[in-house]
Amino acid sequence: MPGQPDGRSRPRWNAVFWTGFILCGVVLGLAVPVLNRWVAPSSPFALPDYLVPLLGKYLCYAMLALSLDLIWGYAGILSLGQGAFFALGGYCMGMYLMRQIGTRGVYQNPVLPDFMVFLQYKQLPWFWWGFDHFAFAMAMVLLVPGLLAFVFGWLAFRSRVTGVYLSIITQAMTYALLLAFFRNDMGFGGNNGLTDFKDILGWDLHRPETRIGLYLASVAALGLTYLVCRLIAGSKLGRVLLALRNAESRVRFLGYSTVRAKLFVFTVAALLAGVAGALYVPQVGIINPSEFSPGNSIEVAIWVSVGGRGTLLGAILGAVLVNFAKTWLTGAAPEIWLFFLGGLFVLTTLAFPRGIIGLFRMPRWTRRAASVPLAAEKQA
């Protein structure tokens, strides 16, 4: 059709976009310490030290949004428990960072973290074994969320739980984890969680060089997450997932294993969310049970909806923009943030259901829709 872009140029534009994104991310991360080294702190051009970890946090949120967009935008699985996998990955990283403190803690215990000494633990719980090794901790970052998603998904999808019922039980799972991690006898720090981290792989977490390294790792991880999601979405499995989203019963009647397809993508999304949580914790310096809050998972769904469900790029854009607005509003007018978030979701649903990315594609859809009656008139 004339006026339509060539589909073969889309991978080229994706490559151009991500090359520019990575270059901008690297330049921005390196510009903060370089500029602050040459500019006086009182200068209006001086950038705050918290800017790099703040941007890194946004990138971790973008990874989390991508993981939800993969299952919601392409498979139609609205999980309101994606924040649980994010928090589990964060706790695995937090346990490693706590084991690295050693005798530098308040109680100077070489084995037990400070909160365990305070709660009069006699020995390190068995599920903390091995977390003094970085490789073991990274394996747990993938294994713990992935195993939970696999077991939960197998039970839910085999029983053909779909739609709003699946959303409710994922939210119930998240809330159950929230209550469990709040308990002091669970061995995860209770309400206070895990904090007061010192270093990672021998690098002081408070040094600018370490923060830049974590930020650049977040840039690279976001790029890899996008590539994984794009490969799945563009494969034969991706076409099956789209068919599942639109007509699951027909896909089942055609002989495809809907349980396997949904279980695979649900588990992959949990793995991606766990990695995002692991990168998030050393940059913010704390992980506590509030990360399991069902409201956090609902916020992720709002990010994806605002950016554009089923577009991947929209999920990244929505996560960054909404969290930027949250950072600004919670400082300028904290009492209206929740009203703004709710109003934004309602406005997105009513005014532009395809999200921000859909606004840029609207002229193409308008032309395509307008060409249908014209073609019908010519045939008549």
pLDDT range class, residue 190, cuts 50, 70, 90: very high
Least confident of 84-88, 115-119, 373-377: 373-377
* Contact predicate 314/70, CB 8 Å: no
Domain count of the fold of the chain: 1
**Assigned domain for 31 exists:** no
Average pLDDT for the chain: 84
**Assigned domain for 26 exists:** no
> What pLDDT does residue 259 have?
92
Q: Is the pLDDT of residue 206 over 80?
A: yes
DSSP bridge pairs for 21: none
Q: What residue numbers bound the domain in which 111 lies?
A: 48-379
- What is the Cα gyration radius of the chain? 23
Q: Mean pLDDT highest for which of 187-191, 265-269, 350-354, 362-366?
A: 265-269
* Contact predicate 93/205, CB 8 Å: no
Extended beta strands in 76-220, E state: 194-195, 199-200, 203-204
> What pLDDT does residue 41 have?
56
> What pLDDT does residue 42 have?
54
- The DSSP output letter for 6 is P
pTM score: 0.86
**Assigned domain for 7 exists:** no
Instruction: Provide the percentage of residues in the chain whose pLDDT is more than 90.
Output: 56
**Assigned domain for 198 exists:** yes
